[in-house]
Chains A and B, each alone.
Chain A
């Protein structure tokens, strides 16, 4: 088990390093920082002085090491627009994003998984078809269309809910709904197919044949086995708690990470963009790591197999 955890930890670290390298390469490829900062018409001495001051005259690999060192000491540079620390600027926005994504995740879990499982246990019934239809719609309606349709219905036509901003809890309803509807569909579809596959297995027949109640079969034999694929997709949703609201925050002018990212991209505020990039990657990698470890806990067969790989 320790070996399994260590292998996973090493891979997670490797992935984070790959993201850091990606940020460094893209940053350097997008132009000489000296000319970007100083403008095209400065004398050569000023450019040289600037390059020396910022270490840009060093070989590339020394710059790379210095970059990694600054990243790991929490120095992500300074926002070009606000002249504030990029990291602080980004961290300030995290709570606003989580205010939307955590309720949305809870909605996805409490509606998505039960409806998928119910549909799988009542195949070909009316409710099964309804769940499939909703799941397909959830898949195919992009969140920006869903968001605008909800605004059109609930703000413009009915006038019940505000269409943007972050003043009261009422403002959070439409963005949360927008994010959760698609996710409920995806989760329902995954749970349904996972459950259908498990219910066709011989051990379910065995469990029924030895006289267990239907309830016992479903709760103690089917659900734990269907959990592995469901945990995968839930893990992905947890990982995107920070990143998942880019479009929705833009629609509802919600001051979270996603809004900051879009604004920074438009203004080409590189320090903020790369800071967000790294934070999101770390969140994704961590949740993938947790999912991998959960696999080992849920399914002992994967433990030895994965470590041997």
Chain B
């Protein structure tokens, strides 16, 4: 996210030089991705201020009205609720879930990976076996099973999504920590008497952070797709709350009469995941030392 701010805020002084610098170093597609993501983040943050209507406010006089009207820019749904307002709120909910879950799974996975690297032996085998287990069961199926047993709630959904992709971080963190342990710098601080937690958090973590951040950009769109898939099936975010997948799911019933209900959130999902992939690929080329 830091990169979004960097690109979006012009540096003080010579804007022309900055623009030409960006044009030389940032491909057009990546610039588009960054702009779109910045717009999405701003939408999520200021959702309460830019939303023209309440998401449950019904305008029964103009149900299923087509987009382009002055009052309802993106049209209305079957209850006369404003599609634009619901879209803005959906962007917020989906982004918050995806963001929270990405952080959770990065923390959890990195921690397990470091533990495996630190203790080796039994702990390492346990972590690797858990990773195998995760790989054996498609995540969508596992989530469906858990939701079947416990019912759906927002907290459960975020926690569940927080398990998405942890095994990827765990494998990366373990591998990198083991190879870092073999390099001079980690051994040097151990010799100086640093505690294990200091070695891992202050010395190894900064050195492997770029690779972990790159895999976060891979996980983030996948979590958005997973959450919207679950919500589409009616098992994720529950009404009256709304999310992008949930909107597509309900819009599907009006596909013939009012395709805009479903097309607007679908376009947002596609553009967002596309932007993150473009930016993520670019970041990987810039940051990841392992592919140079």
Residues on A lying within 8 angstroms of B by beta carbon are 11, 14-16, 18-19, 22-23, 26-27, 29-30, 136-137, 139-145, 148-149, 151-152, 156, 240, 243-244, 246-247, 250-251, 261-262, 264-266, 268-270, 273-274, 276-277, 280-281, 284-285, 288
Contacts and interface: CB of A to CB of B under 8 A. Distances in A.
B20 interface: no
A250 B133 CA distance: 26
- Please provide the 10 A-B residue pairs with the shortest distance between their CB atoms, ordered closest to farther: A30-B149, A265-B148, A140-B273, A18-B133, A145-B266, A140-B274, A273-B148, A144-B232, A284-B136, A15-B136
Interface of B: 129-130, 132-133, 135-138, 140-142, 144-151, 221, 225, 228-229, 232-235, 245, 248-249, 252, 255-256, 259, 262, 266, 269-270, 273-274, 277-278
B132 A11 contact: yes
Contacts of B221: 140
Say what secondary structure dominates the interface of chain B.
helix
Nearest to B273: A140
Contacts of B229: 142-144, 247
B286 to A, nearest CB: 18
B127 to A, nearest CB: 13
Contacts of A246: 140-141, 144, 233
Given A243-B141, A262-B235, A265-B235, A145 B255 contact: no
B248 A136 contact: no
10 contacts: A22-B133, A26-B145, A136-B278, A140-B274, A144-B232, A156-B259, A262-B235, A273-B145, A284-B135, A285-B136
Nearest to A31: B149
A152 B255 contact: yes
A251 B255 contact: no
A71 to B, nearest CB: 15
B6 to A, nearest CB: 24
Contacts of A268: 148-149, 151
Contact of B148 (A22, A137, A148, A270): A270
Nearest to B278: A136
A26 B137 contact: no
Contacts of A19: 133, 136-137
